[in-house]
Structure 1
Amino acid sequence: MLREVIATRFVAPLREGGSLPGLVEADDARPYVMKFRGAGQGRKTLVAEVVCGELARRLGFRMPRLVTVELDPVLGLGEPEQQVQELLRGSGGTNLGMDFLSGALGFDPLAFPVGPEEAGRIVWFDALVNNVDRSWRNPNLLMLHGELWLIDHGATLIWHHNWPGADTSAVRPYDAGDHALAPFAPDVASAAAELAPRITGELLAEVTAEIPDAWLADEPGFDTPNDLRRAYARPLLARAAVIHERIEGLQ
């Protein structure tokens, strides 16, 4: 399971994205970017962050370390902004945190060239998890010390919003025409040859085991959290073998 920390201070809201993440300080004296279970997108966004983030890390991508953050709603009582106060009050319990990358810059394709190999690996991964939120308008990539880091995977695994149609949704093509790295001639074929064989049932079981039970409870159609974990793994396992053939929009 992900390492657990306890939020001791809410530092500031981060005005990025629809989920209004926040910067918090924890009992290990480290700062974390926290995503709240009480945000509009709900706990499925947090599940997607864990599945994609932990899978990306195991495949060798640079990802901020993920933790669970236990939040006492009392931290919101002193917040002057009502929206932030309500978010904190509605997010008691287990939330998601990620290391705050101090000094990181937002990726700008005009300022930071990316090689075809790295571009291909990221495009292939985004196709695997059906990431619809890595466009040139909102890259969700950071540059730190000349290296590219992946962040924000809440808008992935869209099939988990409609489990009865998950298998059908998971075989659909991936449109990479607006992908932030499309201009860098992504070598998707080489990425698939390297990465697809590494997507195994064992790896996906390890990744999905990181999801807290609290985020999987009471999902309609599933008796136990482990049943739901297996449902998350199945489309990814099937998709890994063929998705490189179904990436559209690249020159």
Structure 2
Amino acid sequence: METYSVQKILSSKKIGSSWPLLVETLVGKYILKLSGTGQGKGVLVSEVIAGDIADRLDLPTPKRILLELGPDLISEDDDPELVRLLRSSLGVNLGFDYIPYAKSILEDPEFLMDDWEASKVLWFDWLIENPDRTRANPNIIVRERNYWLIDHGAAFPFQYNLSGLTEYSPTRPWLRAKDHLFYDYVNRLREVHMLNAEKLTFADLEIVTWGVPDEFLQGKGYRLSYDEISRKKEMFAAYLWKRIKGFTVSGF
């Protein structure tokens, strides 16, 4: 991914436990997701892997770049909580292309997604175990006839409980399936799976997971070695591969 420095913070908005910022860079405006939030850099790991998988499945997501956040951008006049968050996020963070005039799919009743495309989104969210594509909060933005999938930070929940990870964890049923915005298309998933699985070989998944910046995989308060970071990347690839190989519609 390309790397740029944040030139200016234009606006901020707290959303739950996250606090995305609209920032100015030399290459335009981006939405900045900070590494110092509650779940730490795991959110950014999820976003990078999910975004790269979506690219391979021809599912649109905002372009991603790495953004350097420097201490000179912190103003003591800002909200104290935001100041603390910025201080804990100095260094490399993740930016998403800002798409002006885009709005939630819920705000555009005229936008109708093709059945096949909706089925692909359902399969994608099953693969990454994304809980955040519900009818109440679809995390799809639209503009004119285009759409983009956003906010995949809650995907890959297994990374927060590695001690509970077993050989069978990747093939467990997706418990959030029935909450999904496109669950009604579950009967098309076998056909979708046959096509998508061809685009995500184990070699493809290794390329995806090795694309995660090493800095995002570092521990909080301690440093991991190159070998330890490499094992983390391989773990994500193996987990995804086992999910794909273990796919069954009954898992929904």
Q: Could you tell me the TM-score, scaled by structure 1's length?
A: 0.90
Instruction: Look up the equivalent residue of 2:243 and give its one-letter code.
Output: R
The equivalent residue for 2:106 is 108
Q: Distance in 1 between matches of 2:201 and 2:44?
A: 23
Amino acid corresponding to residue 178 of structure 1 in structure 2 = D
Moved more, 92-101 or 210-219: 210-219
Distance 1:241 1:110 in 2: 37
The list of structure 1 runs, each at least 4 consecutive aligned residues, that deviate by more than 3 angstroms after superposition, is: 183-186, 218-223
1:119-138 paired onto structure 2 within 5 Å = 119-138=118-137
Q: 1:114 to 1:247 in 2, by over 3 A?
A: farther
The alpha-carbon deviation at position 48 of structure 1 amounts to: 0.5
Shift of 1:203: 0.9
* Aligned position for 2:161: 162
Of the three residues 222, 235, 238, the one matched with 1:231 is: 235
Match of 2:86, SS state, is: helix
- Aligned equivalents of 2:128 and 2:186: distance in 1? 20
How far residue 115 of structure 1 moved from its aligned partner, in angstroms, is 2.5
Q: Which residue type is aligned with residue 142 of structure 1?
A: I
The aligned residue for residue 209 of structure 2 is 208
C-alpha change, 1:181 and 1:39, in structure 2 (3 Å) is: same
Instruction: Work out the CA distance in 2 between the residues paired with 1:110 and 1:99.
Output: 21
Structure 1, residues 83-141: CA drift from partner, whole Å, max 9, x if none?
Answer: 22221111101101110111111012981322221111000010011001111121111
Mark the CA change 1:76 to 1:234 in structure 2 (over 3 Å): closer, same or farther: same
Once the 2 structures are TM-superposed, how far is the Cα of residue 12 of structure 1 from its aligned partner?
0.9
**Aligned-pair CA distance for 1:50:** 0.3
The separation in 2 between residues aligned to 1:110 and 1:64, in whole angstroms, is 19
Tell me the equivalent position of 1:40: 38
Q: Which moved more, 1:120-129 or 1:188-197?
A: 188-197
User: Which residue identity is paired with 1:172?
Assistant: R
Name the amino acid aligned to 2:217: L
User: 2:9 matched to 1:10?
Assistant: yes
C-alpha displacement of 1:230: 0.2
Q: Which residue of 1 aligns with 2:68?
A: 70
Larger displacement relative to structure 2 (236-245 or 204-213): 236-245
**Cα deviation code 1:59-100 (max 9, x no counterpart):** 111010111111002211254221222211111011011101
Q: Deviations over 1:163-198 (max 9, x none)?
A: 233343322111321111234676222211110122
How far apart, in 2, do the equivalents of 1:55 and 1:122 lie? 11
Unaligned runs of 5+ in 1: none
Does the CA-based 8 Å contact 2:218-2:224 persist in structure 1? no
- 8 Å Cα contact 2:5-2:67 kept in structure 1: yes
Cα shift readout 1:177-223 (whole Å, capped 9, x = no counterpart): 11112346762222111101221121111111221111123488994
Q: Name the aligned partner's letter for residue 249 of structure 2.
A: E
Number of residue pairs aligned between Structure 1 and Structure 2: 246
Match of 1:98 among 79, 84, 96: 96
1:224 is paired with a residue whose SS is: helix
Secondary structure of the residue that 1:40 maps to in structure 2?
coil
- Which one of the candidate residues 51, 55, 60 is aligned to 1:57? 55
d(CA) in 1 for partners of 2:14, 2:123:
29
Equivalent residue number for residue 171 of structure 2: 171
Structure 2, unaligned stretches of length 5 or more? none
